[in-house]
Amino acid sequence: MTKAPFASLSAAIAALGTALAFLAVQLRTDGYEPYVESVATASVVMFVTAALVVVTWVRAGRRHSN
């Protein structure tokens, strides 16, 4: 069984989080204050998801006892 592409998945999710963070900053400068919090929250969720994918990648690489 081949390994899942954890590295590319994590990088893509982190890139999405970065894009959302830049969008939140742009929305704040343009005066769309009501949308900033939800976009920033989505950005944080993407970064946390990318970190969890990395944790899964590390754990999948370890040997299993059974």
The string of pLDDT tens digits covering residues 7-65 is: 899 999 999 999 999 999 999 999 999 999 999 999 999 999 999 999 988 888 777 65
Contact call for residues 25 and 35 (beta carbons, < 8 A)? no
pLDDT of residue 47: 97
CB neighbour class for 24 (10 Å; exposed up to 12, middle 13-18, buried from 19): buried
